[in-house]
Chain A
Amino acid sequence: MSFSFQPYGQRACILQWKDRNPMDILEELNHFSDTIRDAKIPDLEELIPAYDSLSLIFKEKLPDQKELQAKLRKLYKSSQKVKKEYSLVQIPVCYLGEHAPDIHSLSKMRGLSIEEIIKLHSQTVYRVSMTGFYPGFIYLQGLNRKLVTRRKISPKLSVQSGAIGIGGAQTGMYSLATPGGWNIIGRCPVKLLSPKGESLLPIAPGDYVWFKPVSEEKFIELSASDEVGNYEWKKRPFQE
Protein backbone atom coordinates (compact mmCIF):
# COMPACT_ATOMS: atom_id res chain seq x y z
CA MET A 1 0.00 0.00 0.00
CA SER A 2 1.19 3.45 -0.72
CA PHE A 3 0.95 6.99 0.55
CA SER A 4 -0.98 10.12 -0.35
CA PHE A 5 1.01 13.14 -1.50
CA GLN A 6 -0.01 16.67 -0.57
CA PRO A 7 1.83 19.99 -0.83
CA TYR A 8 2.29 21.50 2.64
CA GLY A 9 2.71 25.25 2.22
CA GLN A 10 5.08 26.86 -0.24
CA ARG A 11 8.14 24.70 0.30
CA ALA A 12 7.10 21.40 1.83
CA CYS A 13 5.08 18.30 1.10
CA ILE A 14 3.58 15.68 3.35
CA LEU A 15 3.25 11.98 2.58
CA GLN A 16 0.54 10.25 4.61
CA TRP A 17 -0.39 6.65 5.28
CA LYS A 18 -3.87 7.28 6.66
CA ASP A 19 -5.18 3.76 6.13
CA ARG A 20 -2.33 2.07 7.98
CA ASN A 21 -1.82 1.44 11.68
CA PRO A 22 1.25 3.43 12.83
CA MET A 23 2.36 0.32 14.75
CA ASP A 24 2.71 -1.61 11.49
CA ILE A 25 4.48 0.99 9.39
CA LEU A 26 7.08 2.29 11.82
CA GLU A 27 10.00 0.26 10.46
CA GLU A 28 8.86 0.82 6.91
CA LEU A 29 8.80 4.58 7.47
CA ASN A 30 12.21 4.38 9.13
CA HIS A 31 13.70 2.61 6.13
CA PHE A 32 11.98 4.91 3.67
CA SER A 33 13.41 7.94 5.51
CA ASP A 34 16.90 6.44 5.24
CA THR A 35 16.36 5.77 1.54
CA ILE A 36 15.25 9.36 0.91
CA ARG A 37 18.21 10.67 2.88
CA ASP A 38 20.61 8.54 0.86
CA ALA A 39 19.02 9.66 -2.41
CA LYS A 40 20.27 13.21 -1.71
CA ILE A 41 17.35 15.00 -3.35
CA PRO A 42 18.57 18.51 -4.28
CA ASP A 43 17.54 21.33 -1.92
CA LEU A 44 15.88 18.97 0.55
CA GLU A 45 16.50 20.60 3.95
CA GLU A 46 14.42 18.68 6.44
CA LEU A 47 12.91 15.21 6.53
CA ILE A 48 10.50 14.69 9.39
CA PRO A 49 9.09 11.19 9.94
CA ALA A 50 6.03 10.92 12.19
CA TYR A 51 3.48 8.27 13.23
CA ASP A 52 1.69 8.00 9.91
CA SER A 53 3.37 10.66 7.83
CA LEU A 54 6.63 11.88 6.43
CA SER A 55 7.22 15.56 5.67
CA LEU A 56 9.87 16.95 3.35
CA ILE A 57 10.87 20.59 3.58
CA PHE A 58 12.79 22.15 0.71
CA LYS A 59 15.08 25.15 0.68
CA GLU A 60 12.92 27.71 -1.06
CA LYS A 61 10.08 26.09 -2.88
CA LEU A 62 8.65 22.70 -3.60
CA PRO A 63 10.14 21.19 -6.81
CA ASP A 64 7.85 20.14 -9.65
CA GLN A 65 5.18 18.12 -7.85
CA LYS A 66 4.67 15.47 -10.51
CA GLU A 67 8.35 14.71 -10.82
CA LEU A 68 8.91 14.75 -7.07
CA GLN A 69 5.98 12.44 -6.47
CA ALA A 70 7.16 9.99 -9.12
CA LYS A 71 10.64 10.01 -7.64
CA LEU A 72 9.36 9.39 -4.12
CA ARG A 73 7.10 6.54 -5.23
CA LYS A 74 10.03 4.92 -7.00
CA LEU A 75 12.22 5.31 -3.90
CA TYR A 76 9.41 3.88 -1.76
CA LYS A 77 9.25 0.77 -3.93
CA SER A 78 13.00 0.31 -3.83
CA SER A 79 13.25 0.99 -0.10
CA GLN A 80 14.71 -2.21 1.29
CA LYS A 81 13.73 -3.56 4.64
CA VAL A 82 17.01 -3.88 6.49
CA LYS A 83 17.12 -5.52 9.88
CA LYS A 84 18.06 -2.79 12.34
CA GLU A 85 19.13 -3.23 15.94
CA TYR A 86 16.85 -1.65 18.51
CA SER A 87 17.19 -1.17 22.27
CA LEU A 88 14.91 -1.26 25.28
CA VAL A 89 15.40 1.71 27.60
CA GLN A 90 14.08 2.00 31.14
CA ILE A 91 12.73 5.43 32.07
CA PRO A 92 12.15 6.14 35.78
CA VAL A 93 8.92 8.04 36.42
CA CYS A 94 7.33 9.52 39.50
CA TYR A 95 3.54 9.46 39.00
CA LEU A 96 2.85 11.22 42.31
CA GLY A 97 2.10 14.66 43.74
CA GLU A 98 3.34 17.75 41.93
CA HIS A 99 4.95 15.56 39.28
CA ALA A 100 1.54 14.50 38.00
CA PRO A 101 -0.56 17.70 37.71
CA ASP A 102 -3.21 16.20 35.38
CA ILE A 103 -3.50 12.68 36.76
CA HIS A 104 -6.62 13.53 38.81
CA SER A 105 -8.50 15.05 35.88
CA LEU A 106 -7.47 12.10 33.73
CA SER A 107 -8.67 9.72 36.44
CA LYS A 108 -12.09 11.43 36.37
CA MET A 109 -12.30 11.52 32.58
CA ARG A 110 -11.33 7.88 32.20
CA GLY A 111 -13.11 6.52 35.26
CA LEU A 112 -9.91 4.91 36.50
CA SER A 113 -8.23 5.13 39.90
CA ILE A 114 -4.75 6.69 40.15
CA GLU A 115 -3.32 3.23 40.89
CA GLU A 116 -4.98 1.80 37.77
CA ILE A 117 -3.57 4.62 35.62
CA ILE A 118 -0.05 4.03 36.97
CA LYS A 119 -0.40 0.30 36.43
CA LEU A 120 -1.76 0.60 32.90
CA HIS A 121 0.83 3.18 31.91
CA SER A 122 3.88 1.50 33.42
CA GLN A 123 3.12 -2.12 32.52
CA THR A 124 3.51 -1.62 28.80
CA VAL A 125 6.54 -1.76 26.54
CA TYR A 126 6.20 1.20 24.20
CA ARG A 127 7.84 1.80 20.88
CA VAL A 128 9.41 5.15 19.94
CA SER A 129 7.55 6.43 16.89
CA MET A 130 9.31 9.71 16.47
CA THR A 131 11.34 12.38 18.19
CA GLY A 132 10.92 16.09 17.80
CA PHE A 133 8.28 18.64 18.76
CA TYR A 134 10.96 20.33 20.85
CA PRO A 135 14.46 18.89 21.29
CA GLY A 136 14.40 15.60 23.11
CA PHE A 137 10.66 15.00 23.00
CA ILE A 138 9.92 11.33 22.42
CA TYR A 139 6.64 10.10 20.98
CA LEU A 140 5.57 6.59 21.93
CA GLN A 141 3.04 4.16 20.57
CA GLY A 142 1.34 1.32 22.36
CA LEU A 143 -0.74 3.29 24.88
CA ASN A 144 -3.42 1.16 26.53
CA ARG A 145 -6.79 2.02 24.99
CA LYS A 146 -8.27 2.76 28.42
CA LEU A 147 -5.83 5.66 28.78
CA VAL A 148 -6.51 7.36 25.44
CA THR A 149 -7.37 10.97 26.34
CA ARG A 150 -7.88 13.99 24.14
CA ARG A 151 -5.23 16.72 24.17
CA LYS A 152 -6.01 19.77 26.27
CA ILE A 153 -8.49 22.28 24.95
CA SER A 154 -5.59 24.71 24.58
CA PRO A 155 -1.89 23.96 25.15
CA LYS A 156 -0.35 25.14 28.41
CA LEU A 157 2.32 27.82 28.04
CA SER A 158 4.81 25.75 29.98
CA VAL A 159 5.14 22.09 30.88
CA GLN A 160 7.95 21.02 33.23
CA SER A 161 10.99 19.24 31.80
CA GLY A 162 10.83 15.46 32.07
CA ALA A 163 7.01 15.51 32.04
CA ILE A 164 5.29 12.33 30.86
CA GLY A 165 2.03 13.00 29.08
CA ILE A 166 -0.87 11.51 27.19
CA GLY A 167 -2.09 13.17 23.99
CA GLY A 168 -4.84 11.25 22.23
CA ALA A 169 -3.64 7.69 21.55
CA GLN A 170 -0.05 8.75 22.15
CA THR A 171 2.12 8.95 25.22
CA GLY A 172 5.50 10.59 25.42
CA MET A 173 8.02 12.64 27.32
CA TYR A 174 8.90 16.33 27.27
CA SER A 175 12.67 16.65 27.75
CA LEU A 176 12.59 20.43 28.06
CA ALA A 177 10.28 22.89 29.75
CA THR A 178 8.23 24.04 26.76
CA PRO A 179 4.61 24.78 25.91
CA GLY A 180 2.53 21.62 25.63
CA GLY A 181 -1.02 20.34 25.27
CA TRP A 182 -0.78 16.81 26.66
CA ASN A 183 -2.20 15.57 29.97
CA ILE A 184 0.74 15.26 32.39
CA ILE A 185 0.66 12.15 34.57
CA GLY A 186 4.25 11.87 35.76
CA ARG A 187 7.79 13.14 35.56
CA CYS A 188 11.17 11.58 34.85
CA PRO A 189 13.88 12.89 37.21
CA VAL A 190 16.68 12.39 34.67
CA LYS A 191 17.46 14.61 31.71
CA LEU A 192 17.08 12.74 28.44
CA LEU A 193 18.69 15.36 26.27
CA SER A 194 22.39 16.03 26.61
CA PRO A 195 23.41 18.50 23.90
CA LYS A 196 26.91 18.48 25.33
CA GLY A 197 27.34 14.69 25.27
CA GLU A 198 28.45 12.59 22.28
CA SER A 199 24.94 11.54 21.38
CA LEU A 200 22.06 13.98 21.56
CA LEU A 201 19.50 11.41 22.67
CA PRO A 202 19.96 7.90 24.08
CA ILE A 203 16.75 6.90 22.25
CA ALA A 204 15.86 6.80 18.54
CA PRO A 205 12.71 5.95 16.55
CA GLY A 206 12.19 2.18 16.57
CA ASP A 207 13.63 1.75 20.08
CA TYR A 208 11.47 0.47 22.93
CA VAL A 209 10.94 2.04 26.35
CA TRP A 210 9.18 1.14 29.56
CA PHE A 211 8.40 3.32 32.54
CA LYS A 212 9.55 2.29 36.00
CA PRO A 213 7.45 3.95 38.73
CA VAL A 214 9.56 5.57 41.47
CA SER A 215 8.67 7.28 44.75
CA GLU A 216 9.02 11.02 45.38
CA GLU A 217 12.13 10.30 47.52
CA LYS A 218 13.67 8.23 44.75
CA PHE A 219 12.87 11.07 42.31
CA ILE A 220 14.98 13.47 44.37
CA GLU A 221 17.78 10.94 44.65
CA LEU A 222 17.90 10.20 40.90
CA SER A 223 17.62 13.86 40.01
CA ALA A 224 20.60 14.64 42.27
CA SER A 225 22.69 11.85 40.80
CA ASP A 226 21.85 13.05 37.26
CA GLU A 227 22.81 16.60 38.26
CA VAL A 228 26.40 15.47 38.96
CA GLY A 229 26.48 13.29 35.84
CA ASN A 230 26.24 9.95 37.64
CA TYR A 231 23.08 8.59 36.10
CA GLU A 232 23.44 5.86 33.55
CA TRP A 233 20.52 4.87 31.34
CA LYS A 234 19.47 1.24 31.65
CA LYS A 235 19.51 0.12 28.07
CA ARG A 236 19.78 -3.28 26.41
CA PRO A 237 19.30 -4.80 22.95
CA PHE A 238 15.68 -5.77 22.40
CA GLN A 239 13.52 -7.50 19.87
CA GLU A 240 9.82 -8.15 20.02
Chain B
Amino acid sequence: MMQFLKPGMFTTVQDLGRKGLSHLGFGPGGVMDKSSAIKANLALGNDENAALLEITLFGPRIKFTEDRRIALGGGKAKVFVDGEPKTEIVFEVKQGEVLDIPILENGCRGYLAIEGGIDVPEVFGAKSTLSHAAIGGFEGRALVKGDVLKAAKIEEGERTTVELKPLKLASNPQLKCRQGPEFDWFSNEDKVKFLTGTYTVSQNTNRMGMRLEGLQVFTEGEGSMFSSALIPGVVQIPHDGNPILILRDGPTAGGYPRIVVVDESELDVLAQLRPGDKLGFEYLD
Protein backbone atom coordinates (compact mmCIF):
# COMPACT_ATOMS: atom_id res chain seq x y z
CA MET B 1 0.00 0.00 0.00
CA MET B 2 1.00 3.59 -0.56
CA GLN B 3 0.13 6.29 1.90
CA PHE B 4 0.08 9.83 0.56
CA LEU B 5 1.85 12.15 3.01
CA LYS B 6 1.67 14.91 0.39
CA PRO B 7 -0.39 14.72 -2.80
CA GLY B 8 1.61 16.98 -5.14
CA MET B 9 0.06 19.61 -7.37
CA PHE B 10 -2.29 17.42 -9.38
CA THR B 11 -1.58 13.71 -9.06
CA THR B 12 -4.08 11.34 -10.63
CA VAL B 13 -4.42 7.63 -11.36
CA GLN B 14 -4.46 7.10 -15.13
CA ASP B 15 -4.34 4.36 -17.75
CA LEU B 16 -4.64 4.61 -21.52
CA GLY B 17 -8.21 5.91 -21.33
CA ARG B 18 -11.71 5.12 -22.57
CA LYS B 19 -13.21 4.24 -25.91
CA GLY B 20 -16.58 4.51 -27.54
CA LEU B 21 -18.21 7.03 -25.18
CA SER B 22 -17.43 10.31 -26.94
CA HIS B 23 -21.02 10.65 -28.14
CA LEU B 24 -22.01 10.87 -24.45
CA GLY B 25 -19.35 13.45 -23.65
CA PHE B 26 -16.83 11.05 -22.12
CA GLY B 27 -13.72 11.72 -24.15
CA PRO B 28 -10.76 9.36 -24.29
CA GLY B 29 -8.92 10.85 -21.31
CA GLY B 30 -6.09 8.72 -19.94
CA VAL B 31 -2.41 9.59 -19.57
CA MET B 32 -1.49 12.86 -21.26
CA ASP B 33 1.93 11.61 -22.44
CA LYS B 34 1.13 8.12 -23.68
CA SER B 35 4.58 7.06 -24.80
CA SER B 36 6.23 8.05 -21.50
CA ALA B 37 3.57 6.24 -19.47
CA ILE B 38 3.81 3.09 -21.58
CA LYS B 39 7.61 3.04 -21.30
CA ALA B 40 7.43 3.39 -17.51
CA ASN B 41 5.04 0.45 -17.31
CA LEU B 42 7.11 -1.70 -19.66
CA ALA B 43 10.24 -1.01 -17.61
CA LEU B 44 8.60 -2.98 -14.80
CA GLY B 45 7.16 -5.70 -16.99
CA ASN B 46 3.65 -4.32 -16.47
CA ASP B 47 0.92 -4.34 -19.06
CA GLU B 48 1.18 -1.08 -21.04
CA ASN B 49 -2.33 -0.20 -19.89
CA ALA B 50 -1.59 -0.75 -16.16
CA ALA B 51 -2.87 2.07 -13.94
CA LEU B 52 -0.11 4.43 -12.79
CA LEU B 53 0.25 7.89 -11.31
CA GLU B 54 0.43 11.01 -13.44
CA ILE B 55 2.31 13.81 -11.70
CA THR B 56 2.00 17.46 -12.70
CA LEU B 57 5.06 19.68 -12.02
CA PHE B 58 5.17 18.99 -8.26
CA GLY B 59 5.00 15.38 -7.16
CA PRO B 60 3.79 13.48 -4.12
CA ARG B 61 5.48 12.16 -0.95
CA ILE B 62 4.47 8.55 -0.43
CA LYS B 63 5.13 6.04 2.32
CA PHE B 64 5.31 2.46 1.07
CA THR B 65 4.02 -0.30 3.36
CA GLU B 66 5.50 -3.06 1.21
CA ASP B 67 8.49 -3.55 -1.09
CA ARG B 68 7.69 -2.46 -4.65
CA ARG B 69 9.72 -1.75 -7.75
CA ILE B 70 8.85 1.55 -9.35
CA ALA B 71 9.72 3.32 -12.59
CA LEU B 72 9.72 7.06 -13.26
CA GLY B 73 8.85 8.15 -16.78
CA GLY B 74 8.04 11.46 -18.46
CA GLY B 75 9.55 14.74 -17.22
CA LYS B 76 12.74 14.32 -15.16
CA ALA B 77 11.81 14.03 -11.50
CA LYS B 78 13.90 15.10 -8.51
CA VAL B 79 13.68 12.03 -6.28
CA PHE B 80 14.48 11.27 -2.66
CA VAL B 81 14.06 8.05 -0.71
CA ASP B 82 14.01 8.66 3.06
CA GLY B 83 15.60 12.02 2.35
CA GLU B 84 18.48 10.63 0.28
CA PRO B 85 18.71 11.79 -3.35
CA LYS B 86 18.23 9.07 -5.95
CA THR B 87 19.49 9.13 -9.52
CA GLU B 88 18.10 5.85 -10.86
CA ILE B 89 14.71 5.92 -12.57
CA VAL B 90 13.86 2.24 -12.00
CA PHE B 91 14.42 0.90 -8.48
CA GLU B 92 12.77 -0.77 -5.51
CA VAL B 93 11.23 1.15 -2.65
CA LYS B 94 11.37 -0.90 0.56
CA GLN B 95 8.65 -1.34 3.10
CA GLY B 96 8.51 1.69 5.41
CA GLU B 97 10.50 3.94 3.10
CA VAL B 98 9.26 7.35 1.99
CA LEU B 99 9.49 8.23 -1.68
CA ASP B 100 9.50 11.96 -2.28
CA ILE B 101 9.19 13.64 -5.67
CA PRO B 102 9.18 17.36 -4.81
CA ILE B 103 9.44 18.66 -8.36
CA LEU B 104 9.90 17.84 -12.03
CA GLU B 105 13.15 19.36 -13.26
CA ASN B 106 11.91 19.47 -16.82
CA GLY B 107 8.71 18.72 -18.71
CA CYS B 108 5.27 19.10 -17.20
CA ARG B 109 4.16 15.53 -16.47
CA GLY B 110 5.89 12.65 -14.80
CA TYR B 111 4.74 9.04 -14.52
CA LEU B 112 5.20 6.91 -11.45
CA ALA B 113 4.58 3.31 -12.44
CA ILE B 114 4.33 0.65 -9.72
CA GLU B 115 5.17 -3.00 -10.32
CA GLY B 116 1.81 -4.75 -10.80
CA GLY B 117 -0.02 -1.46 -11.37
CA ILE B 118 -2.36 0.46 -9.09
CA ASP B 119 -5.46 -1.36 -7.95
CA VAL B 120 -8.51 0.78 -8.66
CA PRO B 121 -11.85 -0.33 -10.14
CA GLU B 122 -12.64 0.09 -13.82
CA VAL B 123 -15.31 2.68 -14.56
CA PHE B 124 -16.77 2.63 -18.08
CA GLY B 125 -13.97 0.43 -19.30
CA ALA B 126 -10.98 2.28 -17.88
CA LYS B 127 -9.16 3.14 -14.68
CA SER B 128 -8.31 6.69 -15.64
CA THR B 129 -9.50 9.60 -13.54
CA LEU B 130 -11.89 11.98 -15.27
CA SER B 131 -11.84 14.61 -12.55
CA HIS B 132 -14.42 17.00 -14.05
CA ALA B 133 -16.95 14.15 -14.15
CA ALA B 134 -15.72 12.78 -10.81
CA ILE B 135 -15.33 9.25 -12.15
CA GLY B 136 -12.55 6.68 -12.46
CA GLY B 137 -9.14 6.54 -10.82
CA PHE B 138 -9.17 6.93 -7.06
CA GLU B 139 -12.64 8.20 -6.09
CA GLY B 140 -12.87 10.19 -9.32
CA ARG B 141 -10.45 12.87 -8.18
CA ALA B 142 -6.86 14.01 -7.83
CA LEU B 143 -5.15 12.54 -4.76
CA VAL B 144 -5.14 14.38 -1.44
CA LYS B 145 -3.10 14.02 1.73
CA GLY B 146 -4.06 10.91 3.65
CA ASP B 147 -5.21 8.86 0.65
CA VAL B 148 -4.11 5.24 0.63
CA LEU B 149 -3.68 3.46 -2.72
CA LYS B 150 -3.37 -0.27 -3.15
CA ALA B 151 -0.84 -1.76 -5.49
CA ALA B 152 -2.25 -4.63 -7.54
CA LYS B 153 -1.02 -8.18 -6.99
CA ILE B 154 2.05 -8.98 -9.01
CA GLU B 155 1.38 -11.83 -11.39
CA GLU B 156 3.61 -14.86 -11.06
CA GLY B 157 5.89 -15.95 -13.86
CA GLU B 158 8.47 -14.62 -16.23
CA ARG B 159 8.09 -11.03 -17.40
CA THR B 160 10.10 -9.14 -19.91
CA THR B 161 11.14 -5.62 -19.12
CA VAL B 162 12.25 -2.83 -21.42
CA GLU B 163 15.04 -0.46 -20.44
CA LEU B 164 13.74 2.99 -19.51
CA LYS B 165 15.69 5.93 -20.88
CA PRO B 166 15.29 9.54 -19.77
CA LEU B 167 12.81 11.50 -21.89
CA LYS B 168 14.25 13.81 -24.55
CA LEU B 169 12.30 17.03 -24.61
CA ALA B 170 11.76 19.16 -27.66
CA SER B 171 12.17 22.89 -27.15
CA ASN B 172 9.96 25.17 -29.22
CA PRO B 173 8.28 22.18 -30.93
CA GLN B 174 6.73 22.60 -34.36
CA LEU B 175 3.55 20.56 -34.20
CA LYS B 176 2.63 18.61 -37.29
CA CYS B 177 -0.93 19.51 -38.21
CA ARG B 178 -3.56 19.09 -40.88
CA GLN B 179 -6.53 21.21 -41.79
CA GLY B 180 -9.57 21.28 -39.54
CA PRO B 181 -13.16 21.30 -40.81
CA GLU B 182 -13.40 25.13 -40.79
CA PHE B 183 -9.87 25.79 -42.11
CA ASP B 184 -11.27 27.61 -45.14
CA TRP B 185 -13.28 29.98 -42.97
CA PHE B 186 -9.99 31.79 -42.38
CA SER B 187 -8.42 34.20 -44.86
CA ASN B 188 -5.16 33.16 -46.52
CA GLU B 189 -3.45 35.88 -44.58
CA ASP B 190 -4.70 34.53 -41.24
CA LYS B 191 -3.90 30.94 -42.21
CA VAL B 192 -0.30 31.97 -42.87
CA LYS B 193 -0.20 34.01 -39.68
CA PHE B 194 -1.38 31.02 -37.66
CA LEU B 195 0.82 28.41 -39.33
CA THR B 196 4.04 30.46 -39.17
CA GLY B 197 3.50 32.23 -35.86
CA THR B 198 5.01 31.40 -32.49
CA TYR B 199 2.57 30.80 -29.67
CA THR B 200 3.09 30.77 -25.90
CA VAL B 201 1.37 28.23 -23.65
CA SER B 202 -0.98 30.15 -21.34
CA GLN B 203 -1.42 29.67 -17.59
CA ASN B 204 -4.91 28.48 -18.45
CA THR B 205 -3.79 25.02 -19.38
CA ASN B 206 -4.83 21.70 -17.91
CA ARG B 207 -5.78 18.17 -18.95
CA MET B 208 -8.79 19.50 -20.88
CA GLY B 209 -7.12 22.06 -23.02
CA MET B 210 -4.30 24.50 -23.59
CA ARG B 211 -4.94 28.14 -24.34
CA LEU B 212 -2.36 29.76 -26.60
CA GLU B 213 -1.15 33.34 -26.60
CA GLY B 214 0.33 35.05 -29.62
CA LEU B 215 -1.08 36.20 -32.93
CA GLN B 216 -4.85 36.33 -33.01
CA VAL B 217 -6.69 34.99 -36.03
CA PHE B 218 -10.29 35.52 -37.03
CA THR B 219 -12.83 33.82 -39.22
CA GLU B 220 -14.37 35.83 -42.00
CA GLY B 221 -17.97 36.86 -41.49
CA GLU B 222 -20.09 35.96 -38.50
CA GLY B 223 -18.72 32.44 -38.16
CA SER B 224 -21.57 31.01 -36.17
CA MET B 225 -21.83 27.26 -36.52
CA PHE B 226 -23.67 24.32 -35.09
CA SER B 227 -21.70 22.35 -32.52
CA SER B 228 -19.82 19.40 -33.90
CA ALA B 229 -17.30 16.78 -32.79
CA LEU B 230 -13.98 17.73 -31.22
CA ILE B 231 -11.04 15.36 -31.02
CA PRO B 232 -7.89 15.67 -28.92
CA GLY B 233 -5.42 17.79 -30.84
CA VAL B 234 -7.93 20.02 -32.60
CA VAL B 235 -7.38 23.79 -32.39
CA GLN B 236 -10.50 25.92 -31.91
CA ILE B 237 -10.55 29.64 -32.57
CA PRO B 238 -13.08 31.47 -30.38
CA HIS B 239 -14.31 34.91 -31.42
CA ASP B 240 -11.48 36.66 -29.53
CA GLY B 241 -9.01 35.06 -31.93
CA ASN B 242 -6.91 33.28 -29.28
CA PRO B 243 -6.45 29.57 -30.12
CA ILE B 244 -7.47 26.78 -27.76
CA LEU B 245 -5.87 23.38 -28.24
CA ILE B 246 -8.18 20.58 -27.07
CA LEU B 247 -6.39 17.88 -25.04
CA ARG B 248 -7.28 14.38 -23.88
CA ASP B 249 -9.80 15.31 -21.14
CA GLY B 250 -11.29 17.98 -23.37
CA PRO B 251 -14.83 18.38 -24.68
CA THR B 252 -16.13 15.97 -27.32
CA ALA B 253 -18.06 18.68 -29.15
CA GLY B 254 -17.83 22.40 -29.63
CA GLY B 255 -19.00 25.26 -31.76
CA TYR B 256 -15.97 27.47 -32.33
CA PRO B 257 -14.31 27.11 -35.76
CA ARG B 258 -11.67 24.37 -35.93
CA ILE B 259 -8.64 25.62 -37.83
CA VAL B 260 -6.24 22.63 -37.64
CA VAL B 261 -5.77 19.25 -35.96
CA VAL B 262 -2.31 18.28 -34.70
CA ASP B 263 -1.13 14.73 -35.26
CA GLU B 264 -1.65 12.09 -32.61
CA SER B 265 2.02 11.86 -31.59
CA GLU B 266 2.11 15.59 -30.90
CA LEU B 267 -0.27 15.11 -27.97
CA ASP B 268 2.63 13.54 -26.05
CA VAL B 269 4.83 16.52 -26.89
CA LEU B 270 2.08 18.91 -25.75
CA ALA B 271 1.71 17.00 -22.48
CA GLN B 272 5.23 18.04 -21.52
CA LEU B 273 4.89 21.78 -22.21
CA ARG B 274 4.60 24.20 -19.32
CA PRO B 275 2.87 27.56 -19.21
CA GLY B 276 5.30 30.02 -20.81
CA ASP B 277 6.77 27.49 -23.26
CA LYS B 278 6.70 28.30 -26.96
CA LEU B 279 5.33 26.28 -29.85
CA GLY B 280 4.56 26.55 -33.53
CA PHE B 281 2.80 24.58 -36.25
CA GLU B 282 4.00 22.66 -39.29
CA TYR B 283 1.33 22.24 -41.92
CA LEU B 284 1.27 18.83 -43.60
CA ASP B 285 -1.46 18.91 -46.25
Q: Which residues of A contact B (CB under 8 A)?
A: 6-12, 14, 16, 22, 33, 45-53, 55, 57, 60, 130-137, 139, 150-155, 157, 167-170, 176-179, 181, 193, 195, 200-201
State how many angstroms separate the Cβ of B249 from the closest Cβ of chain A.
9
Contact A48 B238 (CB under 8 A): no
Contacts of A7 in B (CB 8 A): 178
Please give me the residue from chain A that is nearest to B183 by CB atom: A6
Contact B240 A131 (CB under 8 A): no
Given A167-B255, A168-B224, answer yes or no on A50-B231 (Cβ-Cβ < 8 Å).
no
Contact B255 A168 (CB under 8 A): yes
Contacts of A177 in B (CB 8 A): 132
Partner of A132, one of B20, B24, B262: B24
Partner of A50, one of B24, B208, B209, B227: B227
Contact A139 B253 (CB under 8 A): yes
Partner of B23, one of A47, A151, A157: A47
Contact B256 A10 (CB under 8 A): no
Contact B251 A46 (CB under 8 A): no
- How many interface residues does chain B have, given as a range? 35 or more
CA distance A6 to B264 in the complex (A): 18
Q: List 14 A-B contacts (CB under 8 A).
A: A8-B181, A8-B231, A10-B178, A12-B231, A46-B23, A51-B228, A132-B23, A134-B251, A134-B252, A135-B24, A135-B25, A150-B224, A167-B255, A181-B238
Contact A53 B239 (CB under 8 A): no
Partner of A133, one of B225, B231, B238, B254: B254
Q: Is B242 an interface residue (CB 8 A)?
A: yes
CA distance A180 to B227 in the complex (A): 12
Q: Is B152 an interface residue (CB 8 A)?
A: no
Contact A179 B263 (CB under 8 A): no
Q: Is B74 an interface residue (CB 8 A)?
A: no
Contacts of A200 in B (CB 8 A): 24
Q: Mark out the residues of chain B between 213 and 233 whose CB falls within 8 Å of any chain A CB in the assembled complex.
A: 222, 224-229, 231, 233
Contacts of A50 in B (CB 8 A): 226-229, 253
Contact B229 A53 (CB under 8 A): yes
CA distance A11 to B227 in the complex (A): 20
Partner of A45, one of B19, B225, B238, B254: B19
Partner of B226, one of A11, A22, A133, A134: A22
Please give me the residue from chain A that is nearest to B177 by CB atom: A9
Contact B24 A10 (CB under 8 A): no
Q: Quick one: CB contact mask for B124-142 with A, threshold 8 Å, 1 for yes?
A: 1000001011110000000
Contacts of B124 in A (CB 8 A): 195
Contacts of B28 in A (CB 8 A): 46
Q: Is B204 an interface residue (CB 8 A)?
A: yes
Given A9-B261, A55-B229, A151-B239, answer yes or no on A45-B20 (Cβ-Cβ < 8 Å).
yes
Partner of B224, one of A57, A169, A201: A169
Contacts of A53 in B (CB 8 A): 181, 226, 228-229
CA distance A16 to B25 in the complex (A): 20
Partner of A195, one of B133, B204, B228, B229: B133
Given A46-B20, A168-B224, answer yes or no on A60-B264 (Cβ-Cβ < 8 Å).
yes
Contacts of A46 in B (CB 8 A): 19-20, 22-23, 28, 231
State how many angstroms separate the Cβ of B121 from the closest Cβ of chain A.
12
Contact A48 B178 (CB under 8 A): no
Contact A132 B253 (CB under 8 A): yes
Contact B25 A10 (CB under 8 A): no
Q: Quick one: CB contact mask for B159-190 with A, threshold 8 Å, 1 for yes?
A: 00000000000000000001011000000000
Given A9-B231, A53-B229, A193-B133, answer yes or no on A135-B26 (Cβ-Cβ < 8 Å).
yes
Contact B25 A131 (CB under 8 A): yes
Q: Quick one: CB contact mask for B193-221 with A, threshold 8 Å, 1 for yes?
A: 00000000000100011000000000000
CA distance A43 to B133 in the complex (A): 27
CA distance A128 to B197 in the complex (A): 40
Please give me the residue from chain A that is nearest to B124 by CB atom: A195
Q: Is B123 an interface residue (CB 8 A)?
A: yes
Partner of A181, one of B20, B24, B256: B256
Q: Quick one: CB contact mask for B237-277 with A, threshold 8 Å, 1 for yes?
A: 01110101000000111111000011110000000000000
Please give me the residue from chain B that is nearest to A6 by CB atom: B181
